[in-house]
Amino acid sequence: MKDCVVLYPAPGMGHIVSMVELGKLILRHHNHQFSITILLTTGPFDTSATTSYINHISQTNPSITFHHFPSISVSLDTSPNRSGAAIAFEFIRFNDPNLRDALQAISRTSTVRALLIDFFCTSALHVASNLNIPTYYFFTSGAALLAAFLYLPTIHNQTTESFKDLTTTLLKFPGLPQIRGSHMPEPLLDRDDQAYHDMIFFASHLPKSKGIIVNTFESLEPKAVKAIAEGICVPSAPTPPVYYTGPLIADADDRTGEGVSNCLAWLDAQPSRSVVFLCFGTRGTFSVAQIKEIAIGLEKSGHRFLWVVRIPPSDENSKAEEPDLDALLPEGFLERTQGRGLVVKSWAPQVAVLSRESVGGFVTHCGWNSVLEAVCAGVPMVAWPLYSEQHMNKAVLVEDLKLAIPMEQSDENGLVSAGEVEKRVRELMGSEEGRALRRRSKEMRENAMAAWTEFGSSMTAFTELAQSWQRA
């Protein structure tokens, strides 16, 4: 029977894309040794974007098998007092019987050498253990967040307060800059939320795996890598082997959507390093008031820009599939900035955009995939975190890695003023600090490429990982 590696991502585009890239990486280096099957849940978190992406991967990478679970037979508790994260984690847990059935079915025709799971799929550990299948985590964020999550049970035992109430308290995690308690990822903010206890459960099980694969490279996050290696993140147990095998980013042509056409042509007509690119991920939306502030700031900055605008949260239930730019932007903005600015509706091919010679800066929400894409393109960043672990990523990017400057919120409502947008764009694109960031970003791009050379750190780690599967 052929050896098989099974991948199990959490629902959501960012998680699935990262898992697919890992699957492609395994096939690129070990096509003759392992087949790849990716397990996908079926349910309320599926989107048309995810479906079209998976269809595209199926056509372009026939060696990857997708196994879709049937819908779960139990109904989710979606009562108003439950958080979205708690519902999502319950949904994944309710898929444990589907996971067991899938692994048993695959085992009839293949030898499953390893199950690679997302952090949010921790309940899979006991399913795989009962089937004697070695289980590894694939951690889709960086080493800093892994260090924090490994240490999370320790922090949990040090306080009885909810993180959301620690607005001035700085939490100290090994290998990270200090971070305000209220800037922790949303599922961790409220101790009364079931999602908080789920996250503690997930974090406490990281050391119980056969190993942790991380989408980063050692020279990008040396402080966090060192803290994990020294064992101080898990004071009460051995830390499992950690394999830093990044950067894994989506191929530029994997996430093409419709309507991409003119933005790349427009970029190719602009001078070198003259354009600032603003894009905030698939979930990054702003209020109408914030969109107007960004527009005024961009206009006053005088710099060229490519800006992806999504439908505001208040309009997401409307029938419109695209944002109405005339209604969202200040009157006359598009006419006044014509030629030096381009506003794109909803989506742009980010990997392709960042690799363009004309792009000199990136205003980003600090999602880890976006961070790696910028690092690989050598593009400096303005860090504007919106949700999830992005505040932690911002702290690392700004304070430790010196690859970004911060966007500061101006008021208690979290609104960023036009003046702040203008200031940070000018700083990134024209100041001495911006030039220093650009030099540092270029060096880190070279480090990223070196990690995957013959004796580079990521290549070495990946080889050791594959050998551990062969020994299983």
Confidence of residue 258 (pLDDT cuts 50, 70, 90): very low
- The answer to whether 33 and 4 have CB atoms below 8 angstroms apart is no
**pLDDT surpassing 70 at residue 134:** yes
252 confidence band (pLDDT: 50, 70, 90)? confident
For 340-365, write each residue's pLDDT tens digit. 999 999 889 999 999 999 999 999 99
Residue 466's pLDDT is: 97
Fold of the 2-250+452-471 domain: Rossmann fold (3.40.50)
The answer to whether 460 touches 122, Cβ cutoff 8 Å, is: no
The answer to whether the 2-250+452-471 and 259-449 domains have the same CATH topology is yes
472 pLDDT above the threshold of 50: yes
Per-residue model confidence (pLDDT) at position 103? 99
Q: Each residue of 345-368: b (16+ CB within 10 Å) or e?
A: eebbbbbbbbbbebbbbbbbbbbb
pLDDT at residue number 110: 97
Domain parsing of the chain, residue ranges: 2-250+452-471, 259-449
Q: What predicted TM-score, i.e. pTM, was given to this entire model?
A: 0.95
Q: Is the pLDDT of residue 421 over 90?
A: yes
What percentage of the chain reaches a pLDDT higher than 70? 97
Predicted confidence (pLDDT) at residue 317 exceeds the cutoff of 70? no
pLDDT of residue 261: 64
Q: Would you say 438 and 380 are in contact if contact means Cβ atoms under 8 Å apart?
A: yes
Model pLDDT for residues 11-29, shown as the tens digit of each residue: 988 899 999 999 999 999 9
- Per the DSSP assignment, residues forming a β-bridge with 66 are 38
State in Å, rounded, how far the first CA of the chain is from the last one: 15
Span 259-449 CATH architecture? 3-Layer(aba) Sandwich (3.40)
Residue 336 has pLDDT above 60, yes or no: yes
Tell me what the pLDDT averaged over the chain comes to: 95
Region 436-457 average pLDDT = 98
- Taking the C-alpha atoms of residue 246 and residue 438, their distance in angstroms, rounded to an integer, is 21
